Every structure is written in C-alpha cells, then in structure tokens.
Amino acid sequence: MEIKKVAMVGGGTMGNQIAMQVAISGYEITCYSRKAETVEKAEAFSKGWFAKSVLKGKITEENAALTQSRLSFTTDLAAAVSDADLVIEAVVDVLEVKKEILKQIDALTPDRTIFASNSSYIVSSKFCDAVSHPDKVLNLHFFNPALIMKLVEVVQGPHCSNETIETMIRFVESIDRVPAVVKKEIYGFIVNRVFSAITKEACYMYDQGVASFEDIDRAVKFGLSHPMGPFELLDMTGIDLEYDVLTEKYRMTGELSDKPSPAIVERYARGEYGRKSKKGFYQYE
C-alpha cells in the first residue's frame, strides 16, 4: 500500500511535531484537535518554527511556504480523516479515550485506512477491536521532541498484518526516521521499559531522601554517560504524561508498585509538568 494522505488526531506537542515532520517529508497532512485553543496553539507553533528555520538558514522561504501548504489544522474530525490512507493517533494515553476516538474515526474512513497509535505504553491489541479492520492497527511510537528524535518504534500485535508493518516501515523511513520493529507486544515497548526502570528507581531514591534529584541526575549523566538525567528527561517529556501513563497502568494491574511516585503526584497536582509549564523538577525561563 502507498501512503499519500495522512491525518494526525491530537494536536498537542507530540501530535503537532509529528504532523510537521510528515509535512516536511512531502506528505499532505491534516492535524485535528477537538479544542479550538489547541488547534490555534499548534498552528502558531508551526508558523513560528518555520519562520525561525528560515531566519537561521535551515530552510528557504519557498520551501517553508510549500511545506506549510501541505499542513492544515482543524477541529472537524471528518474533514481531517475522511480520505486518509493513514491516521496517526496521539490523544491522551487512556484506553477508553483511545477506543472512543478510534470508533469515531473508523466510521469516517475508507477500508484502506491504517490506524497507528502513538501510545507510549498501551499495546494496540487493547483497542484494535474498536475498528472494522484490526489487521490495519498498530503502535507507531515517536519520541519527544518528534522534530528531532529519530527513532520510531513499529509495534506488531497478533492482529496486525505483515503488510501493514511493511507499509509502516517504509513510511517511517520516508519521513527521515529510523524504525525499530517490535515483533511481539510488550507493555512499554523497548525504550520506555528501559526508561521506566531507571525512572522508577530514581524516583524511589528521591522519595526516600537517599539523594537530591539534582545529584541523581548528575550521577546518571556522569556515571552512566547518559545525555540527560531521569528527572531532566521527565521534565522534557512531561510529568503529566508520566502521571497519566502510570495511573492507567495501575488501573489495569491493580499493583501498588505501578502507582506514580509521590514526587510525580505532587508536581502533577501543582500543575508543574516540566518544560511545558516552565517548572517541574527544575525551573525554566
């Protein structure tokens, strides 16, 4: 199958940047959010990013205008998805929310449409029954910030066809990204399982007063040669996202060990989500 037209469902930071990268790579894409303010914010960010890229000489004014002509924003779901070959979903990581939006999309799209979820943790077999053709449902997991991070995890569930996976590998490569194929579903896929193990232990040590979050970050960066410490990375990816993911996991497993750390819960309750809110574990200008 050849992908020509793409729809992005979810206009937050991840959805918007994925949509921009897809447009940069030559595809027509419409970015949808049900909230007008989210659409306005996404469009403003996009225009600002392209304007800065022109000023820095990273892209010509003509190429910037051409790319932006391929990228549109809307609060009309039908207008976004009705003729899409591929729908990428980047809504909140809550299972019932994903099922509901996929049901709506399935009623509006042609039989050929592939549904790719950008979920960080929830495997597609949990929601593939929301659409008419489960063999066209998979996880396509991008990393934040999507305009910079090269890796995309392509995750095949038992319901997903080899043809769908092969089509998505070609698509990922065509948008200048590196696919890592996950052949068997596992909660969190590859990167987030490793990241979660590190983050969980880091939060445990901080909650127990073993060390400050600054010193834990310092130890991981200079002792393990990681480019960022776990708390810096939480601030970048979003403490609200971490809270949502862990809360959803706890709902599914009932295991107390899966609940968010007190350090995460406290900051979430205060609206301190990291870089996006100018404060998380660290302060940002």
Q: Which residues are catalytic?
A: 120, 141, 153, 192
Pairing of strands 28-32, 114-117: unpaired
Distance CA 221, CA 224 (A): 6
CA dist list (Å): 111 to 33, 81, 86, 115, 201: 23, 12, 11, 11, 45
Distance CA 77, CA 35 (A): 11
**Neighbour tally for 10: CB within 10 Å:** 24
Q: How many CA atoms lie within 13 A of 122 on its CB side?
A: 31
Burial of 257 per CB tally in 10 Å (0-12, 13-18, 19+) = exposed
Burial of 55 per CB tally in 10 Å (0-12, 13-18, 19+) = exposed
Residues 6+ apart with CB under 8 A from 269: none
Residue 278, both tokens: 């100018």
Q: Could you tell me which residues are beta bridge partners of residue 155?
A: 139, 182
Distance CA 18, CA 20 (A): 5
The 3-state DSSP class for residue 100 equals: helix
Please name the helix (run of DSSP H) or strand (run of DSSP E) that holds residue 167, with its range, or none: helix 162-174
